[in-house]
Structure 1
């Protein structure tokens, strides 16, 4: 979208426990994505790569900025269909228990009433945050079992961070049901920094630590690198991936 100047960066790391990095990210203005694959080697990594490929195609071909939700929904639908086709081919080849799926969180520039906005969409528990006057705020809402328990009042947010089923997602691309994404519109001027990450970051770092790392790195590429490094240093129990986007003009 013309008239909007962005600076951005992304980083990913396999972590200290996993053998394969099933995360993937895209930073191709005006489209930014983080996907966290599930299903093991050649399962999750294929699914997350499909998400990046489809959103990269969207960035390359362009989209009507006044119809952002429709463009994202069509792209997510294409991702889901391709993942299911991939699973079907693997099972037909004799891998009867083969699984492949992924979360996805995306942000892209759209136009509302002639003004640019961020459109954020998520499926699963990969997150979008915004930084408002130096304070970190979560934009997306996790599609996860522990989030449902928090919403029901069964556990506290502090309990959720250590719950044994905290990695169970309730929506995913490639799952048994075609998932619906949640959508959020954000004004650019009020939220100059946007952060997308997989749960390998927010699962290792609480919001206060994420906020501290972001505040110490004015450059978005450095901020992404530093957040991933902090997640690995904190234990690196999962793949860790971040994209950071600043609106600078």
Structure 2
């Protein structure tokens, strides 16, 4: 377990664990991660011939080396993050000629009205989950063809898991026509546990099992290791990367305030004021990951 510094004037302590494995079928691990307060994220590169590794690496380095986060945290905003992701998108395209791209999912600890909030963000089909006071659920919404079919009511979530187009994503950084991220702003609650993962976890391990491991393994590093080991036991046809973040010392609970771009499905928002909140999706496939 890595214990991070107490955050600003809030009496909050963040503990984090992370793990990554190339899996049992892939030659390279094209996932990258960042776990450095106040930002935590996973990027899943695609493109082959090491190009995916380059794309995901550029993405997390852009976040990690940003002076915007260092100078302005905890006042860091979605607009700041949008600027960083635009920079990462441009750098990936310049480095790879549009031949490679990456997903990105994660969270930044920020201040909103003097209170600590999670600023969640997502591009592609890597995922962010939240376990909070016994409630477990996915915060991010996949940018994929099958998710759009689910949102429209054409197929069920169970059917999406085995759909032949399940590997096709509709947004990514560094490639395609749409690299816009979605954002959600939610108050930090006592005992929050955040899980960020590449789809190497979510496509192999059922959510019920993910929830069981997160709820039973107290130490975040041990929880991250357990999730990766469970993925390997399930076949690990893809790279798998997980970051687990625990928040301790939260004083009370703020009223829930979420901000998300979509106007349908289980992730409806009360407001849509953050960048990328128009609710539109091009419906155009960015890329198809190598079938597993």
Contact 1:136 1:207 in 2 (8 A): no
Contact 1:27 1:243 in 2 (8 A): yes
- Aligned equivalent of 1:15, options 9, 15, 23: 23
Cα distance between partner residues in 2 of 1:190 and 1:170: 35
Contact 2:107 2:121 in 1 (8 A): yes
Kindly state the Cα deviation for residue 83 of structure 1 after the two structures are TM-superposed: 0.5
Cα distance between partner residues in 2 of 1:178 and 1:47: 16
Cα distance between partner residues in 1 of 2:71 and 2:177: 28
Aligned ranges for residues 52-201 of structure 1 at < 5 Å?
A: 52-58=60-66, 61-88=70-97, 99-189=99-189, 192-201=192-201
Alignment pair present for 1:28 and 2:36 = yes
Point out the more displaced range, 156-165 or 115-124: 156-165
1:129-162 CA-partner distances (Å, limit 9, x unpaired): 0002233211010000110111111211001111
Kindly state the Cα deviation for residue 213 of structure 1 after the two structures are TM-superposed: 1.1
Contact 1:130 1:191 in 2 (8 A): no
Cα distance between partner residues in 2 of 1:205 and 1:116: 31
Label 1:29 to 1:64 Cα distance change in 2 as closer, same or farther (>3 A). closer
Alignment pair present for 1:245 and 2:208 = no
Give RMSD over aligned pairs. Answer: 1.5
Contact 1:10 1:241 in 2 (8 A): yes
- TM-score, with length taken from structure 1: 0.92
Kindly state the Cα deviation for residue 64 of structure 1 after the two structures are TM-superposed: 4.5
Q: Spell out structure 1 runs of 4+ moving beyond 2 A.
A: 58-67, 132-135
Label 1:243 to 1:62 Cα distance change in 2 as closer, same or farther (>3 A). farther
Q: Specify which structure has the higher proportion of helix.
A: 1
Cα distance between partner residues in 2 of 1:74 and 1:172: 15
Bigger relative contact order, structure 1 or 2, given CA contacts below 8 A and separation 6+?
1
- TM-score, with length taken from structure 2: 0.79
Contact 1:63 1:71 in 2 (8 A): no
Count of aligned residue pairs for this structure pair: 240
